[in-house]
Each structure stands twice: as C-alpha cells, then as structure tokens.
Chains A and B, each alone.
Chain A
Amino acid sequence: MTALLQVEGLVTEFAGREGRLRAVDGVGFSLARGEILGLVGESGSGKSVTGFSIMGLVDAPGRIAGGSVKFDGMELVGMTEGELRRLRGKRIAMIFQDPMMTLNPVLSIQTQMLESVLAHDAVSRDEARRRAIEALGLVGIASPEARLAQYPHQFSGGMRQRVAIAIALLHRPDLIIADEPTTALDVTVQGQILYEMQRLVRESGAALVWITHDLAVVAGLADRIAVMYAGRIVEQGSTTEVLDAPLHPYTRGLLDSVPAANVSGGRLRQIPGMTPSLAHLPTGCAFRDRCGHADTACGEIPGITLRGSRQVRCHHPL
C-alpha cells in the first residue's frame, strides 16, 4: 500500500509571550487511499493544528518549524502559497467544526459553491451549477435546485454541515481533513453525517482524517486511530486494537472517561488533573503528572515503541 499522505516529524510552533510553544511536536502518521484515520485528543492537544499544518493554513504567529508532509509524492512543507492554493479545495479539502460559521452568511449557497468550482476548473457556470446540484444530492439534501438559491440562515445546523461537506466534495478530493465536523450537531444528525461520510469515502476512494475528541465517533468510523496528547501522538494503531487493548495509560484513561464504559450508578472514572498548558509542560513525558504508572524513567521523553503494527510513546506500555 503506497501512502497518499505521509507526515513525518511535523513540528508547528506558535510564538507567544511565553516563548515558542510547540502545539505539534514530532507528529508522524501515514494514510493510504480509502483509509480513515481518527485523530483523537482533548482540546489543546494539537489535533486541529495538525490538520491546519497539513493544509498549510497555519497563520502567524504560528509556523511549521520542521518535519515533512508528503502528499501523493509532493512535499507540502515549504511549498509557496500559490502552489498550496492550487491543491487546497481541489485535491485536499477541509471540513470545519462549526457549521454555523463555515458558510459565509451574506452569500447564497449557489454563489459559494460555484465560486469553489470556478476557483479550480475553467468550466461554464451551467456546468459548475450542475456539479453543485450533484454534490448537494450526494450528501442527501432534498430538492438541491431550490436549495441552491437559499442563504445559510435558511438551513439548519445539520443541513449546513451537509452543504459544507458538499462543497468539500465538489472536486472529488483525494484527501479530506475533517476538523470535528459533527461536534456541534445533535447525536441523531451526527449519526446521519457519519454514515454519509463513511459511504462517500468508500465510494470515492478518498482518504479521510477525522479530527475529534469523541472516541465513540471514531470507534464506528475510523480504520485506524491516533491519540494525541500535548502535541504528540502517544498511541496509534488499528481502531479495534487501540480501543480493545490500549497500550498508553492516557488512552486507557480516555476510554474509562466514557460514561457508558462504567457500571450504571457507579462513580464515574476520570483522569486526575488537567490538560497541562503548553507553556508549563512537565519535563519528560507530558502525561507523567497525571499517570498512575509514572516513575523516574518518565523524566525522559519516551521514544516510539513498536508493537506489531502499533506505535506507542510510553516507558511503561500497558
């Protein structure tokens, strides 16, 4: 299997008052066509910044300080803005978190969809419109012709996210990066969108990076899971392996924090402490202050341990 996306040692820094903070620190993973990777982590773990870094959308004061992102053989890190722009929306699409905010409120759906078609392909407006209608139909929007003329405020949250997904699918991209696209939606709508996404990825053969904090979402969706903590991927492997037998204590903690995993009425389990601020990370393993297995060895940053096809960054894997 040749990788469509190969990320190695990616480092993204933000210059702030407390010096340079590494929001993403040595992240590496690879993704084949048709594969779905669940990138899981708490707020501030660097999962969204990883997504933005792949797209080349990291703005000042942030910058990609090192590492490589290879997409279909091309190195994206260090590409000019013009070269990146030709890929964005065309071969790599992004879906954002808040469906209320990703559509421009003052432009009609048609204007926004045609704009994205015409930004990359020199086709007639009729052809662009036809494609827009097709994409809306694909994501399950009824009477797409009529809906095209409407404005975002006339759509419900779930419908808007469908429109955002339709826009992402307009060019049949090879890679889709979805940044928590269902977090703001009701569970029922979330279920529908997840189902549609899975179907669309299977049909189009696109690779999908699904960024989320919700393990339940990736459990049913992703082929593989990468768990992020404080800018590093602490564990990665196939979904079933990671969820059934986590190797990293943090993954274990995350799984235990899902209420359904506990006995009804019993005391809910949680990970002690709080996600550390990037400015005050403990030396060595970033998780050691909250970890029941920590000892003096954890003062050193753990390297990547391979266990079959799985990777874990821990001195004491479970």
Chain B
Amino acid sequence: MSAVLPSALPAPQTPLQRFVEEFFESRIATLGFVLLAAVVLVALFAPLIAPQNPYDLAKLDLMDSRLAPGEKGIGGATYLLGTDGQGRDMLSAILYGLRVSLYVGVVSGIIALTLGALTGVFAAYAGGRIEQFVMRVVDIQLGFPTILVALILLAVLGKGVDKIIIALVCVQWAYYARTARSAALVERSKEYMEAARGLGLSGTRIVLRHLLPNALPPLIVVGTVQVAHAIALEATLSFLGLGLPPTEPSLGLLIANGYEYLMSGKYWISFYPGVALLVTILAINLVGDQLRDVLNPRLAK
C-alpha cells in the first residue's frame, strides 16, 4: 500500500490495479475466485436456474421421493441430482440452500465486522482502562466454545434467519474486534496520527477517517475467513436441528435430512449438498489466503 512510486513515471499504477494484478498472479487463487464467483452467481440467480421451486410444497410429489440422480419422475422431469425424502429436486434445493447459506454468512459477517471493527478501533484509540476492559470482554467471548454459545443463543431466541444471524454476529464480533485493535495499535503509533491530532481534529474524526481505513486490510482478510466459518457454523447448527426452519432448508439442513437415508445407500441426499458446502468454503478460503498474502506488507515484493 505504501510502496513509493516516483511521481515522474508517466502512468503509475493505482493501488487497485497493483492489487488486482498481484491477486491473480496465483493460479490457485484465480481458481478460488472463479469458483466463488460461480457459487455467488448461481445463488443469486437460483430462482431463474433451478428446475423447481423447492419451497413450494404444492409442487412436490411424494411419489418422486428418494429418486437416484438422473432418474425420471412421474411428471416426466429428470432429477439430475436425485430427490430427497419429500420428493424435492436436490439440484433446486441445493441452489436455494446456497442462497440461504451465503446470505446468512455474508450478512452476519458484515454486521460482525462493523461492530467488531468499531469496538476494536475505538478501544485502541482510547487506550488505558477502556481498552483493557473491552479487550477482556473480547477474551471472555473468545474463551467460550463458539458452537456452545450459538446453541444456547438459538435455544433462547428460537428459529429463523434473523435469529441465526444474531447468533453468528454474537460469536464472531470478537475476532474482528481483536484484529481491528491490533491493526489500529500499529497505525496509532505512526506519525500521521500525531499529525492528525496536531491539526486539531476531533477524536471521532481521527478514528473514523484516519485510523479505521488504515486498519481495514487485515480486517478484510479475517472477514473472508470468518464468512467461511459462519457458513460452516450455520450448516452445523442447521444439521443439529437449530437455526433455520425446515421449510426453507439451508445446506446444513439438507445434509441432515439425508442423514437418515445414508445407511440405506441413498447417499445423494446428503452428499451433493455436502459437496456444494465444501466447494463454497474452499473457494472463500482460497480467495482469503491470497488476500492475506497480497495485503500483508511483510510478504510484499
């Protein structure tokens, strides 16, 4: 970010151009990016792509239940990835499930990032007792097993997309707060912070305009990893029967639904949603790894 370019060069690359170029230097990261883009597009346009609306119970035919991948149903439709116990087309269910999983992961990630980043950055700027207090709260939060906290919260709150987002934000904000604080501590000791204070700017302004934007790169990296975590955690919670209602299944719930048929050789009900989950998380992690490498000043070439 802070590499010095002589201003005499005819057209110096903007930081964004340099970032894009460095990001796509790695083939595996490019693959991750393509996979992620595909997953996001498929999830966004699920209603247009999916052969069936899996939420419309009237469209489901119990006679079509548990068909193997490629078999034809009574209505003449071919189920490419088979059907589940209620005769739901697995391909459609997975596409819609991806939507739910990504939505929950990204929305909870954005809220947790905002809350955590503000907490961490203000704590770092305030210093002293306030900082100590906030960071001990963060330590306590991180000391609890994530899944336990989420389970308890969901047991109290009940089911629903909004509830699971609240639970995920509660277990994740602390990671962002810790990262934001450490990044802000590094930035706070830099001279431009002194300069900003020397200009007579207010504390809030210094934190929001000067400290926060400079602390963002590590937060973006943590953000991608945490979104992947959130998606996995949501799947786990849904698998355990908490979280999302069975009428709007996420990937985790689809896996759970197929679990009872696994032993009877009907692998596809659990297997394909599992593959979709795996690809999504893998893609996010590949992108996150490369972001970390590109944004890390210590690894800069």
Q: Which residues of A contact B (CB under 8 A)?
A: 55, 57, 59-60, 85-90, 93-94, 96-98, 100-107, 115-116, 119-120, 151, 153-156, 159, 164, 167
Please give, as numbers and ranges, the residues of chain A lying within 8 Å of B201 by CB-CB distance.
85, 89, 115-116, 119
- B200 with A86: CB separation less than 8 A: yes
Interface stretch (choices B2-10, B143-151, B259-267, B272-280): B2-10
A-B pairs, 7 with minimum CB distance:
A89-B200, A89-B199, A88-B200, A101-B191, A94-B198, A102-B195, A116-B199
Q: Are B210 and A107 in contact (CB under 8 A)?
A: yes
Residue B202 interfacial (CB < 8 Å) = yes
CB distance from A141 to the nearest CB of B (A): 11
Would you give the shortest CB distance from B183 to chain A, in whole angstroms?
13
B194 interfacial contact with A, CB 8 Å: yes
Residues in chain B within 8 A of chain A (CB atoms): 1-7, 12, 15, 127-128, 190-192, 194-202, 205, 209-210, 213-214
Identify 22 residue pairs between A and B in the complex whose beta-carbon atoms are under 8 Å apart, listed by A's number.
Answer: A57-B194, A59-B127, A85-B202, A90-B200, A94-B194, A94-B195, A96-B195, A96-B198, A97-B191, A102-B191, A102-B192, A102-B195, A105-B192, A106-B1, A115-B205, A151-B15, A153-B1, A153-B4, A154-B5, A154-B12, A164-B195, A167-B199
A133 to chain B, nearest CB (A): 18
Give the most central of B5, B15, B195, B199: most A CB within 10 Å.
Answer: B199
What chain B residues lie within 8 Å of A93 (beta carbons)?
198-199
Closest chain-A Cβ to B154's Cβ sits at a distance in Å of 39
Complex formed: what's the CA distance from A156 to B7 in Å? 6
Whole-angstrom distance between the alpha carbons of A59 and B6 in the complex?
Answer: 35
Contacts between chains A and B (CB distance < 8 A), count: 89
In angstroms, how far is the closest chain B Cβ from the Cβ of A60?
A: 7
The complex places the Cα of A57 from the Cα of B206 at a distance, in Å, of 14
A51 and chain B: residue at smallest CB distance: B198
Q: How far is the CA of A60 from the CA of B131 in the complex (A)?
A: 13
Question: Cβ of A106 and Cβ of B190 under 8 Å apart?
Answer: no
| Residues of B close to A94: CB separation below 8 A | 194-195, 198
**A96–B214 contact, CB under 8 A?**
no
Q: A103: nearest residue on chain B (CB-CB)?
A: B192
Q: Are B7 and A154 in contact (CB under 8 A)?
A: yes
